[in-house]
Structure 1
Amino acid sequence: MNTAANDSRKLLALNKPKGYVVTRSDELGRKTVYDLLPQWVFNDGWMPIGRLDLESKGILLFTTNGKMGERLTRPGNCIKVYEIWVRGHVTDEHIAAALKGVESREDMLKVLSVERKGTGGAKTKLWVAIDEGKNRHIRRLFGALKDPKFATALKVLKLTRISIGSFRPNIESGKWRYLSLAEETMLIKNLS
């Protein structure tokens, strides 16, 4: 484990590609995020902070510090921003509903903010911010909304986590690095 003097000893980040599960081992034999990391990350008990599903990609943090992991995942403590592509026409009414809260089969889902970034054919690109991470939160929320033109459910086609709190790194897909001490300090200074 080679760390530079200005590297965090508590946090590392991986830019997770699609097709990897966030678990230490998988009973179905699928590739895990640990296949992308040095063996010592697994051996030394570094654990993911939060999850990204098999089809999602983006920033994933790891720590050996359980208290820090709990603080970063506690609802309301840390804002995460995702870039998503949604199949369907996302309207102002959809955005208002996502901000207010949408009832799914299991629970109420909502977002902190939605920013429309563009369109392409029958697809809409959005940046969505949440401060909690229920299972498949964003996918289920948009799946509960209907396209007004075709009366079909909206569907998240691509989902990429682009930031966690103040941490918005530029890391190549499938690569990892330690957070710097400055990045760690900025990330945890606003946590309760």
Structure 2
Amino acid sequence: MRLDKFLTECGLGSRREVKSLIDNKKISVNGNFKISSKDNIDEKSDIIKYEDNILSYKEFRYYILNKKSGYVTAVEDPRDKTVMDLLPDWVIKKDLAPVGRLDKDTEGLLLLTNDGQLNHKLLSPKSHVDKTYIAHTEKDFSEEDLEKLRKGVDIGGYITMPAEASKIDTNILSLTIREGKFHQVKKMVEAIDNKVIYLKRVSFGKLLLEDMELGEVKEINLEDII
């Protein structure tokens, strides 16, 4: 692989920007600074450093974010801050995109990757990836209400698939769904004559939010996801 392509794939900037890094002796290959952006390197065996930090090449990258409220789930938006604004500098953002979406006012676990095939697979209706949410509701709910959610409710001409629903505390509901319809959890709660006032996703498939701080990001491996 050409050195400049390797560096751009590692997220250090455009071809022009990484050429400047090379010209300014910020990049070394096996300890050698006398290099050209056009040089070919072996990304598996050569040691490429940026300011003494060893760079590792990964074709696909996977991150989980504990999303904050107030950010839209998009790569860019002309009006609002996006989840990309929450990512720290060390995250390699090249071709990175969120898998699915969380509403602007919803917190919790969001997966981001540049693996388009995995993104498509996880969002496919055939995949039925479990997603668990904690919802604080406007008023309390009954066991009868929970049973309705478990069996499936009408959210506007569509009957939801059977879900897992349980009561955590007064006005606090745990709901696991296998679909990803627009505003689905909020609409399901509305279908039992209630309203969501706070919503957080705590799991997505095998991925668990656990004790991640709000706004925290972790890099994970493909094996953690599937």
TM-score, normalised relative to structure 2: 0.68
CA contact (8 A) 2:63 2:111 kept: yes
Q: Give structure 2 stretches of 5+ with no counterpart.
A: 1-9, 11-52
SS of residue paired to 2:104: coil
Q: Give the deviation of 1:139 after TM superposition.
A: 0.2
- Which amino acid counterpart does residue 223 of structure 2 have in structure 1? T
Query: Quick one: percent identity of the two aligned structures?
Result: 30
**Equivalent residues, number:** 172
**Structure 1, unaligned runs of 5 or more:** 147-153
Structure ranking higher in strand proportion = 1
1:88 equivalenced with 2:139 (yes/no) = yes
1:173 is matched by which residue type in structure 2?
A: L
Aligned to 1:187: 225
| Alpha-carbon separation, structure 2, partners of 1:106 and 1:40 | 45
Is the alpha carbon distance of 1:13 and 1:176 closer, same or farther for their aligned partners in structure 2, counting shifts above 3 Å? same
Structure number, greater radius of gyration: 2
Structure 1 residue 40: Cα displacement: 8.0
Whole-Å Cα distance in 2 between the matches of residues 94 and 4 of structure 1? Answer: 53
Query: Aligned partners of 1:42, 1:164: CA distance in 2, in Å?
Result: 22
Q: Are the structure 2 counterparts of residues 18 and 4 from structure 1 closer, same or farther at C-alpha, using a change threshold of 3 Å?
A: farther
Q: Using a 3 Å threshold, how does the CA distance of structure 1 residues 83 and 8 change in structure 2: closer, same or farther?
A: farther
Higher relative contact order (CA 8 A, sep 6+): 1
Question: Among 168, 174, 177, which residue is 1:130 paired with?
Answer: 177
CA distances 1:131-152 after superposition (whole Å, capped 9, x unpaired): 1111110001111222xxxxxx
* Deviation string, structure 1 residues 46-103 (Cα, Å, up to 9, x no partner): 1100100011000100111111112222234321111111112211111111122211
1:116 partnered with 2:167: yes
Runs of 4+, deviation exceeding 6 Å: 2-5
- What is the RMSD of the two structures over their aligned residues, measured on CA atoms? 2.6
